[in-house]
Amino acid sequence: MMLKTAESRRRTEQHDAGGRTPDEAARRSGPITEPKHMRRYILVVGVLIALAVGVTFGIMTWNNPADTGSRPWWLIVEMRRDSLITIAVVAVCHAVSTVAFQTAVNNRILTPGIMGFGSLYTVIQTSAVFLLGVGGASALVGVGPFLLQMAAMVVFATVLYTWLLGGKFSNIHIMLLVGVVIGGVLGSLSNFMQRMLTPSEFDVLQARLFGNISNARVDYLPYAIPIVVAVVALLWVRSNTLNVIALGKTNALNLGISYKRELIIIMALVSLLVATATALTGPMMFLGFLAATLAYQFGDTYSHRMLFPLAVLFAYTILAGSYFVLRHIWDAGGAVTIIVELIGGLVFLIVLMRKGRL
């Protein structure tokens, strides 16, 4: 009996003011729970920054025919700088929108492309060539058409989200299903019009339907960059809300989140980012999926304030690396979707096979 009492007293003395044992006191919850985890996160970020800087330096200086440091050399560097800014804007749009979208729908395989943004872009481009001929493609070049395409995609997505999430359906799975069906209908309409085109018109159209860095013009950037910065800042401020929404609808409601309102706001912000990226360079289905999946694997955290930068670094490195290989080694222009879709599609199949479900 005396031994039992002494053992009980010793255990009581070891408890802190909160009644926790030393092991429990050392344990904490947070985005990074161990120093080893933090070191690995910093290492991954450091490696990605080094790769991004290396690829950026390669794009700006590789195969520059002018003498290093001369005025013609700097003029060529400045021309390539615009492509790098476009790559950065598109990478931010796809990475941040995909991470936020996957949190909202509580699924790490689906991407915003499932809502029919790419199909709507294809219909707009195909309709212009179908109705106006080869000159229709050039009619969609310029700040005005760029902003109109963005507005059309944002209005389409906002009406869809508000109707399906705010009405009597109020079901995110129905919204996704309707998005898939609308994307299929728009795709069929595009295919029908493409069959009516002449070979020369079809050739011009195909060049615009590939996601291509060369599609973006410098005069688009002063309009696109402020929009992207503002939307990313709003999503960054809502990072803690996204962390709670990731727990699921029931837990989010129990923790005091206005689930439906937050979902509509997040979807509207996601649609702005995807519309900007698609209007700039064309559809890229797997870039966001690839960046988000790698960020989940290497970040190993639920915190969106740690996932967003990691996903952006992955997206920029992949996109800039693809552009460097295609532009400066294979001399194949800036049609980066050739590499991005190939690698992204393979990763998607691997993830799908491992999970065994959508």
Q: How does DSSP assign 194-208, residue by residue?
A: HHTS-HHHHHHHHHH
Task: For residue range 109-159, list pLDDT tens digits in order.
Answer: 778 877 777 777 788 778 888 887 776 666 667 788 788 878 887 887 777
User: Which regions of the chain does DSSP assign to beta strands (E)?
Assistant: none
Task: For residue range 11-22, list pLDDT tens digits in order.
Answer: 555 554 445 555
CA distance 92 to 95: 5
CA distance 50 to 129: 43
**Mean pLDDT, the chain, as a whole number?**
79
CA distance 334 to 59: 12
Would you place residue 167 in the very low, low, confident or very high pLDDT band (cuts 50, 70, 90)? Answer: low
Which one-letter amino acid corresponds to residue 139? A
Burial of 303 (0-12, 13-18, 19+ CB in 10 A): middle
Higher pLDDT, 205 or 288: 288
Instruction: Return the pLDDT at 89.
Output: 92
CA 236, 146, 206, 175 torsion-angle sign: positive
| Residue in this structure with the two tokens 């985005």, named with its chain if needed | 31
Q: 148, 160 in Cβ contact below 8 A?
A: no
Q: 101, 259 in Cβ contact below 8 A?
A: no
CA atoms within 13 A on the CB side of 126: 21
Closest CA to 276 of 138, 155, 151: 151
Which one-letter amino acid corresponds to residue 132? L
In this structure, the number of other CB atoms found within 10 A of the CB of residue 160 comes to 18
Q: Mean pLDDT lowest for which of 143-147, 243-247, 301-305, 317-321?
A: 143-147
Which residues have CB under 8 Å from 119's CB, separation 6+? 182, 183, 184, 186, 187, 190
Task: For residue range 207-232, list pLDDT tens digits in order.
Answer: 777 767 776 778 888 888 999 999 99
**What value does the CA radius of gyration of the chain take, rounded to a whole number of Å?**
24
Burial profile 32-42: b = 16 or more Cβ within 10 angstroms, e = fewer: beeeeeeeebe
CA distance 338 to 287: 11
Instruction: Return the pLDDT at 286.
Output: 82
Q: What's the longest Cα–Cα distance across the chain? A: 98
Q: Mean pLDDT lowest for which of 97-101, 166-170, 246-250?
A: 166-170
Q: 338, 321 in Cβ contact below 8 A?
A: no
Instruction: Return the pLDDT at 3.
Output: 45
